[in-house]
A and B are shown apart, each in its own frame.
Chain A
Amino acid sequence: DTEVTQTPKHLVMGMTNKKSLKCEQHMGHRAMYWYKQKAKKPPELMFVYSYEKLSINESVPSRFSPECPNSSLLNLHLHALQPEDSALYLCASSQGTLQPQHFGDGTRLSIL
Chain B
Amino acid sequence: GESVGLHLPTLSVQEGDNSIINCAYSNSASDYFIWYKQESGKGPQFIIDIRSNMDKRQGQRVTVLLNKTVKHLSLQIAATQPADSAVYFCAEIPNAGGTSYGKLTFGQGTILTVHP
Taking Cβ atoms with an 8 Å cutoff, the residues of A that contact B are: 2, 4, 31, 33, 40-45, 48, 50, 55-56, 90, 92, 94, 96-98, 100-106
In-complex Cβ contact of B49 among A41, A100, A103 (8 A): A100
* A102–B46 CB distance below 8 A: yes
* Chain A hits for B93, CB < 8 A: 97-98
Q: What's the count of A-B pairs with C-beta under 8 Å?
A: 67
- Docked complex Cα distance between A56 and B41 (Å): 27
Taking Cβ atoms with an 8 Å cutoff, the residues of B that contact A are: 6, 8, 31-32, 34, 36, 41-46, 49, 89, 93, 95, 99-109
* A42–B107 CB distance below 8 A: yes
Known: A2-B43, A90-B44, A106-B43. A101 touches B106 (CB 8 A): no
Q: A48-B101, A90-B43, A100-B49 are in contact. List 20 more A-B contacts (CB 8 A).
A: A40-B8, A42-B107, A42-B108, A43-B89, A45-B103, A50-B101, A50-B102, A55-B101, A55-B102, A56-B103, A90-B44, A94-B102, A97-B99, A100-B34, A101-B34, A101-B102, A102-B46, A103-B36, A103-B43, A106-B42
